[in-house]
Amino acid sequence: FPNQYTEQEAKKLGVVGWVKNTSQGTVTGQVQGPEEKVNEMKSWLSKVGSPSSRIDKTSFSNEKEISKLDFSNFNTRY
């Protein structure tokens, strides 16, 4: 499914990172930003997502505080 909606939501919230569709039909990615904004993005990914997507489950891992952002924007990887 198109990740443009995920990009738009990320940019609206002001988080950075990336998203990618996998060959298994799932989506993987990384989100960085203020904890409150990251939590809003996680909620959106869990409950809303792209209009054409079906969300069976979400899994968030490797959560940690960082001193600086690794990304300058949010984009789709191919």
Bridge partners, 19 (sequence order)? 29, 76
- Cα–Cα distances in angstroms (integers) from residue 63 to residues 41, 53, 60, in the given order: 14, 24, 7
**pLDDT at residue 1 above 70?**
no
Q: Which fold has domain 2-76?
A: Alpha-Beta Plaits (3.30.70)
- 55 vs 45: CA distance, rounded Å: 8
Could you give the residue ranges of the DSSP H alpha helices within 19-74?
35-47
Q: Three-state SS for 18?
A: strand
Query: CA angle 30-55-17, nearest 5°?
Result: 15
**pLDDT at residue 2 above 70?**
no
Query: Mean pLDDT across the chain, nearest whole number?
Result: 91
Summarize pLDDT for 41-54 with one digit per residue, the tens: 999 999 998 888 88
Q: Which residue ranges make up each domain of the chain?
A: 2-76
